[in-house]
Structure 1
Amino acid sequence: MLSQAKGVLFDLDGTLLDTAKDLGACLNYLMDKYGFEHVSYEQYRLVASDGVYPLLDLGFAEQLVHFDREQLRQEFLDYYLENIAVHSKPFDGIVELIDAIERQNVPWGVVTNKPAFLTDPLMLQYPEFKQSIINVSGDTLPQRKPDPAPMLLASEALGVASKDIWYFGDAERDIQAGRRADMTTVIAKWGYIKNEQELASWQANYCVAHPLHILAVEDQAKDRPNL
């Protein structure tokens, strides 16, 4: 049961929280405003954690050149901030996993590329996450994932050497950042994975289909099982 972990870190969107429907609602708000057809859940879910610009690219497609991208981004963010946790919720099994981590007195936190003005109010919506030691956002430092600097900052805040920390994420940049910081990396396969065929190339220690599956792992960190 995470027997090797002395600290745990999570990505936010697509790992701790299923935020896709709220992000998609922001995109479709703009679709309505400017007379475009809605983007389906199946389409926007795959780019939900990539940031605003990829979502705008998805919705406006070739028509985006006729708009002010910065204005659209600001309209998106304004709407999102006002509706940040309407549909978002922890993925199934996440609350139980965090409870297990806390019962073992293992410190944990979040490292995300989401900007702090969104990360902080979003995290406050979920009392289950109140024990997070640190929430490192995409603008906390000049560097962001896949750079290891945010990971090392979080490691320092937890008071745990990076080699003793497990990092969960659903994007290649997460695994790259974790590996560069010498952490044990876990692919959150329940998240916004675009192409499962590429996961092996990320070279994570684990690829886990459900948050609670990691609790069955003992001393196999180098075996990289697909659980």
Structure 2
Amino acid sequence: MQLPQLILIDVDGTLVDSVPDLAYCVDEMQKLMDMPLRGEAAVRQWVGNGVPRLVERALSNDLNGTPDIALYDKAYPIFLEIYQDNVSKRSCLYPGVKQGLEWLKAQNLHMGCITNKAARFTEPLLKDLGVADYFNIIISGDTLPRKKPDPMPLLHGAEFFSVKPKDSIMLGDSVSDVKAARAAGFGIICMSYGYNHGEDINLANPDVVIDSFTQLPDVLS
């Protein structure tokens, strides 16, 4: 792939392994709701579509589940309160992320962060893990009326930097990222290790799949 003018990078499953914190919060919520614990393995299959959807999946114990609305309305504020104090206590950058970000920075491209996580959680997480300053824009799940897989956040990022979509790349980990990139006219690179509900990301046909941010110099020239 050609070196782009703009790269927009996903958070959960791409930059950050946030499942340990999310799983902790899910199980603490479940305890307070007097419901069975779900555990990290289950939560790892459920993340990637924002906190509201994660809470629905945890309550129903099902990737495609929808709980009773009264149950959800009681549980969701509980999760938010717990997560507010546990955004980055157990989460960590994936190996190679810092090196990859440093290489991208040295190429003088525009860099943005794009996630379905709400800003109140995204910004502290990136700051706590020491990567917030790499990004000239952070587009969170509540920044715009629509979020991934809708192309709106990606197109907003391109417009912010006055870059054409064809000169832009999305770096993500899920089918949601692939759909958003295709709809926006971006190139798409995916990480092999991310959160894609247990499915091999190769099945979504991104342009390139890599195992580490340290491979970015090999695929962008």
Matches within 5 A, 1:75-86: 75-86=78-89
Is the contact between residue 150 and residue 180 of structure 2 (CA under 8 Å) also seen in structure 1? yes
CA displacement at 1:40 relative to structure 2: 2.2
Q: Which residue of 2 aligns with 1:110?
A: 113
**Identity over the aligned pairs, expressed in percent?**
26
Q: How big is the shift at 1:158?
A: 2.9
Aligned residue in 1 for 2:21:
22
2:33 corresponds to: 34
Are the equivalent residues in 1 in contact too, given 2:158–2:165 (CA < 8 A)?
yes
C-alpha RMSD of matched pairs (Å): 2.3
Q: How many angstroms apart in 2 are the aligned matches of 1:114 and 1:95?
A: 21
**How far apart, in 2, do the equivalents of 1:56 and 1:143 lie?**
19
Task: Name the count of aligned residue pairs.
Answer: 217
Question: Are the aligned partners of 1:133 and 1:158 in contact in 2 as well (CA < 8 Å)?
Answer: no
CA offset digits 1:119-140 (Å, max 9, x no partner): 2222222323312010111221
Task: Find runs of 4+ consecutive structure 1 residues off by over 6 angstroms.
Answer: none
Q: Tell whether 2:213 aligns with 1:211.
A: yes
1:35-79, CA deviations, whole angstroms, 9 ceiling, x for partnerless residues? 333222211111122333443344333795395212211110111
Comparing 45-54 with 62-71, which one deviates more in the overlay?
62-71
Q: Give the letter aligned to residue 211 of structure 1.
A: F
Stretch deviating more after TM superposition (63-72 or 101-110): 63-72
Distance 1:122 1:197 in 2: 27
Instruction: Give the corresponding residue for 1:44.
Output: 43
What is the distance in 2 between the residues matched to 1:66 and 1:161? 42
| Structure 2: unaligned runs, 5 residues or longer | none
Separation (CA, whole Å) in 2 of partners of 1:115 and 1:156: 21
Conserved 8 A contact 2:51-2:117: no
Are the structure 2 counterparts of residues 129 and 66 from structure 1 closer, same or farther at C-alpha, using a change threshold of 3 Å? closer
Give the Cα–Cα distance (whole angstroms) in 1 for the partners of residues 36 and 108 of structure 2.
Answer: 49
- Match for 2:181 among 178, 183, 190? 178
Distance change (3 Å), C-alpha of 1:39 and 1:203: same
* Alpha carbons 1:108, 1:158 under 8 Å: kept: no
C-alpha contact 2:175 2:201 (8 A) present in aligned 1 = no
CA drift at 1:98: 0.3
The 2-side partners of 1:120 and 1:194 are apart by 24
Distance 1:66 1:114 in 2: 21
2:161 is matched with which residue? 158
Deviations 1:136-186 (A, max 9, x none): 112211121112111011112234222111111112111111111111101
TM-score of the two chains, using structure 2 as the length reference = 0.88
Return the TM-score normalized by structure 1. Answer: 0.85
